[in-house]
Amino acid sequence: MARPIDVSQLIAGINKKKGLDENTSGKISKPRFLNKQERSKQERLKENEESLTPTQSDSAKVEIKKVNSRDDSFFNETNDKKRNPSKQNGSKFHFSWNESEDTLSGYDPIVSTRAIDLLRKGKTPKNAAESSYMGKHWTEKSLHEMNERDWRILKEDYAIVTKGGVVENPLRNWEELNIIPRDLLRVIIQELRFPSPTPIQRIAIPNVCNMKQYRDFLGVASTGSGKTLAFVIPILIKMSRSPPRPPSLKIIDGPKALILAPTRELVQQIQKETQKVTKIWSKESNYDCKVISIVGGHSLEEISFSLSEGCDILVATPGRLIDSLENHLLVMKQVETLVLDEADKMIDLGFEDQVTNILTKVDINADSAVNRQTLMFTATMTPVIEKIAAGYMQKPVYATIGVETGSEPLIQQVVEYADNDEDKFKKLKPIVAKYDPPIIIFINYKQTADWLAEKFQKETNMKVTILHGSKSQEQREHSLQLFRTNKVQIMIATNVAARGLDIPNVSLVVNFQISKKMDDYIHRIGRTGRAANEGTAVSFVSAAEDESLIRELYKYVRKHDPLNSNIFSEAVKNKYNVGKQLSNEIIY
């Protein structure tokens, strides 16, 4: 095999063929490696030459054509060169994707920006380099500057997921869309001191209050997420769009809005929160909005008296509302908005038949001119909820807030072992001393509540109140009032208080007796860690618990640990043989 020709001979041959001697410019020379100094010098010379060269040649101008739906982008030279026919015919492949779904559209990537151009901006603000290619964040833009990508980022920021056809974009703030009347706006921001809406309020209000079409709405959000205002504000907005009614008309036609909730305590809480808004708003707008509640524990005569002057908003439990309808204490001809709050809990408590019965009665008794709008709020989506939504809601907007998106409540869960109630109380005393009130302790049996209250009274300086089903309505209301006004530090309660009650700033929840179901456990510990606050939930486990429940509890505690501080006692693991199976799976 012949040896390759020497590079020096090859270069000399090329120069001789082209007639280039040693004194001729443009002569080809043997390549050589440059050191760092030589490379820097050559780069500076090259930049100087580029700066002296005209930016645009008259002989060959280059235009960039925009991409249209049928042709690829290409460079069009205006000289006489022939275009490439394969480029003229467009791309071989055609994809049926929506360009608006591309989150990278609308800005140039960093690779298209010269580093030297960014470095020359040294006198600009710290984030100038980033904003030069990423663009402004949606919070820095005005409403008309928002594009599809900005709205998607906003939804991601607040963990909002929607479906159901054409869905209105979320609120960026209270004022911008001019949905809320100015007098009501002032009440929300200045009087109630809510500077910005919560995620569920952001997505619910614009979709429920859209004047083009009052759509039904189904919202899935955790407790403490601001759901009450998410339906109270739309109810008041709709009322403000029609003139006030005299008392006689309120009696004849019935309420404009009906709110159903599963428990007496939740009904009274919704009434109280609604009256906070309506009391101030009525003075601002001269709109006399009356809010009435119907719950068990009050006689039909008391209910009849409270309804004697009619009402605009009626809040009720399903069972007592049916009793009132069957006894002709009220009519429902003009129900424009029907709200099912804590719908999943109503189903859990066996109110499915009563709820569907009420929905049917509202439809039958309604005037033909009334178009009912149904709003449903739930913490979990179950098949029964989907069934009710499919049967009684018209093409609703579905909105899910923070489910599996990292926005779960900030709760530290601690599971401890104790042999008996005496042992539990011995361990409980130093725990409650570390936390500021209010504190809630959950038990399963009324006798335990009385015993525990007596122990606290004898052995500590803390004041306690008791809330369970055997208490009369007046006693229960009195207990809640004492707890809310900080006249007592601890409330001992059964599951009756575990769902729907909004007692702010609960620092500690104690499961003195572990619940029989995981759903109840989740709802119990959900009394703390609300509204972005951190909370602690301590649960005592004895030797007599259901093994399957403890295994389920172990999985839940491991999975839901937003603060990375959950504790599951080794004594409980050993007693119920949990945690070892996972280790074996990892090893083998």
Judgement on whether residues 331 and 275 belong to the same structural domain of the protein = yes
The answer to whether position 29 is within a domain reads no
The answer to whether 242 touches 473, Cβ cutoff 8 Å, is: no
Judgement on whether residues 339 and 380 belong to the same structural domain of the protein = yes
Judgement on whether residues 464 and 322 belong to the same structural domain of the protein = no
Low-confidence ranges of the chain (pLDDT < 50): 55-93, 95, 123-124, 126, 129-130, 132-133, 404-406, 582-588
Judgement on whether residues 244 and 265 belong to the same structural domain of the protein = yes
The answer to whether position 262 is within a domain reads yes
Judgement on whether residues 343 and 441 belong to the same structural domain of the protein = no
The answer to whether position 143 is within a domain reads no
Last-in-domain residue among 381, 401, 421: 401
The answer to whether position 418 is within a domain reads yes
Q: pLDDT tens digits, residue range 177-229?
A: 889 999 999 999 999 999 999 999 999 999 999 877 789 999 998 777 889 99
Q: Residue 169's domain spans which residues?
A: 154-401
Judgement on whether residues 208 and 159 belong to the same structural domain of the protein = yes
* Structural domains of the chain, count: 3
The answer to whether position 18 is within a domain reads no
Judgement on whether residues 419 and 325 belong to the same structural domain of the protein = no
Judgement on whether residues 441 and 577 belong to the same structural domain of the protein = yes
Q: Kindly report the number of other CB atoms within 10 A of residue 344's CB atom.
A: 22
Judgement on whether residues 352 and 494 belong to the same structural domain of the protein = no
The answer to whether 238 touches 294, Cβ cutoff 8 Å, is: no
**pLDDT value at residue 407:** 53
For 175-184, which contacts have Cβ atoms below 8 Å and span 24 or more sequence positions?
176/143, 177/143, 177/206, 179/205, 179/206, 179/209, 179/237, 180/205, 180/233, 180/237, 181/237, 181/240, 181/285, 183/281, 183/284, 183/285, 184/233, 184/236, 184/237, 184/240, 184/277, 184/281, 184/284, 184/285
The answer to whether position 43 is within a domain reads no
Q: pLDDT tens digits, residue range 499-528?
A: 556 678 899 999 999 998 888 898 889 888
The answer to whether position 224 is within a domain reads yes
Judgement on whether residues 386 and 473 belong to the same structural domain of the protein = no
Judgement on whether residues 262 and 315 belong to the same structural domain of the protein = yes
Report the CATH number that the domain containing residue 356 is assigned in CATH.
3.40.50.300
pTM of the model: 0.59
Judgement on whether residues 435 and 500 belong to the same structural domain of the protein = yes
